[in-house]
Structure 1
Amino acid sequence: MFLTVKHYLTFISALLFTTFVFGFSTAFAQQNDVELILKPSAEVANNGDEIVVDIVLKNPLQQKIISVRSWLEYNPAHLEGLSLNTKDSLFTLSAPGEDAFDAKEGRVMIGRSNITGGFADVETVVATLTFKVKTAAAVSGMIKPYDYQITELGHTSVNIIEQGFPVNILTREPDALNLSFNPGAVTASTAPNGATSLSLADSNGASDSTLIRPLNLRANTGSNYVDLKWESPGDPNRLGFNVYYGKTSGQYSRRRSLDNVLSTRIDGLNNGEVYFFAVTSYDQFNQESDYSDEIGIIVNEPLSSTSPFEGVLQAALTRLPNQPQNGPLTWWILLSAIGLSGSFLFRSQKRRA
């Protein structure tokens, strides 16, 4: 029996179908990580205004969490820390010296534990912070996690007990919070301060940096997440990329800093809502390129993706090596596709007979 183009298309369709089913289930499982999220009362504020920031812990798998460290840093020339409220927090005990602001260094030191042996709420507020804007200049400011490490030794962690020892289950650094101060005021230039401040563009959106901006930004989406990919020509001065996003076009309330990679997943988004994304390159001095072209996407609406079916097979197969217990699933995908296409061919031949 000779295989026609139709037969090949049937096989490819079956392969894509089985891969998509597996890829979707794998992506769904991976999005349920623990997260620490900074939720501000406002993202734009003027001199003298107060900004309230909730540190929210999301625990979708309801693991029994015993402690949280959430140190933050900010620019003390822009913000003044007024209060740190943990009255309603389920983490009832503070670590020594970890319940205060350090105004000189521009840090918030939070270390809390639960003396009842842990809890498993899906979402809870760890602490509520109040800042006051103390600059009259039109600048951008940032509040970001301090000293994230994959182990429990860092100053940003979410811990459970395994075999009698604390283990950090926060698998990635929380996103930074971007704030805009005094929009419309005369812009003041600010010296680069990598961790605590941001001065990216002038009123025309142009940057003084010679870095090449990222190109061809594209996105796919699923439940509560967006996958981003982009391209960037070789640049010896580039150290990595910053991904900016928010719910208003051109105004990004979140920033994620990455190494020299060309893709990332943004979790913890609200299904059905529109988010806007842009990417910049940065160098060792924290100077940034111009923004990439902006894209907008409706979370969990695949048809709003820039390329709804791009990389489905690759996304599923590349996850398998990191999960040795699922090694046979590679063969399962291939054999399922062969089985489905064989069934179609058999029925086609039987009808002709």
Structure 2
Amino acid sequence: MKTNNKIISAFLSLFLLPSFLMAATADTDITLKQTNIDENSFHIRIEIKNPSQQNIASVQSWLSYDTNVLEAKKIEADDSPFDFVAPGENNIDNGTIKIGRSALAKTITDTNIFVANVLFEWKEKKNTDISFFNYQIDTSGNTSVRVFEDGFPVNVLGAEPKKITIQTNGGTTHVETPIIPTQETPITQETPTITTPTKPTFSDSQVQNLFATTGPGYAVFAWDMLPKATGYNIYYSQTSGRYIQRRSTDDVDNYYLDGLEIGKTYYFSIKAFNAANEESQYAYEVKLTAGYPDSSSAPLLLSKSKQMIAKAKNLTQSGSASTFVIILSLCLTFFFQFRKKYGTINRT
């Protein structure tokens, strides 16, 4: 019993460290720029401005546009330094462009970071807006630039990025230029274009903060619960981005998955589902090698907890695996309830 109490105390002391603050530097931005190709088409270049050279780990840059005026044809990102495409986030979907990229090899510190070009064609020649979709100050939205602080992803966009107004004459602006009448030139008033923002749906949402650790033949996961979700599907395989196995669970924020082969590398993602059986977008992929806790690409525990993982492994090998899982689940539940209540601090 004393051993179990020590394990609980150690887990709680690690999880209650002040590691969930928003990033201190708030000068990072993400921008849109129009480049004309010909009279019928143009590119929108998505670029991160990173003057303080933070260690950028990933980006989400979902865009919304008026499908009556524009047609998005293709996403081009061959020259982007981000080397991994998030599952389901290289798509054009009925007025929403879904772009998600991660830097798996190493973080990116350039002051100007190319994300992608999007090729558009005109359907109707009139001024229109392209804007970023579902920005949130934390990592729960679909527009963010992320760094890792104490092993947890943090959005470094301190404010919603500016939309861009596409003009038929090839220019872009954020401010309307007034028409000054003269006696020789009659005034012609163009009917303003009103773009109704697309309201995010459950299928547009994404489970955030998926973390994982592993032991002999098993993996343990934790994540932030998604509003209106009734359960979660955990997808995995031994090939990145191609999931052939699935486990389902109820509306909880952690899961114990066994049956993994020690020494084999697995790739995991998760989708939430609601009462109508609609699924969310894939969460960012997590990679680990079964039986090797240090191999997790999104460690569930902080780096200082390596000794506790070793103790947990000894506990499972001594025949108390179920006790360890129960203790871990209780710790995870307490931890995420604490995060939801105290973890997000708005920047000023």
Normalising by structure 1, we get a TM-score of: 0.42
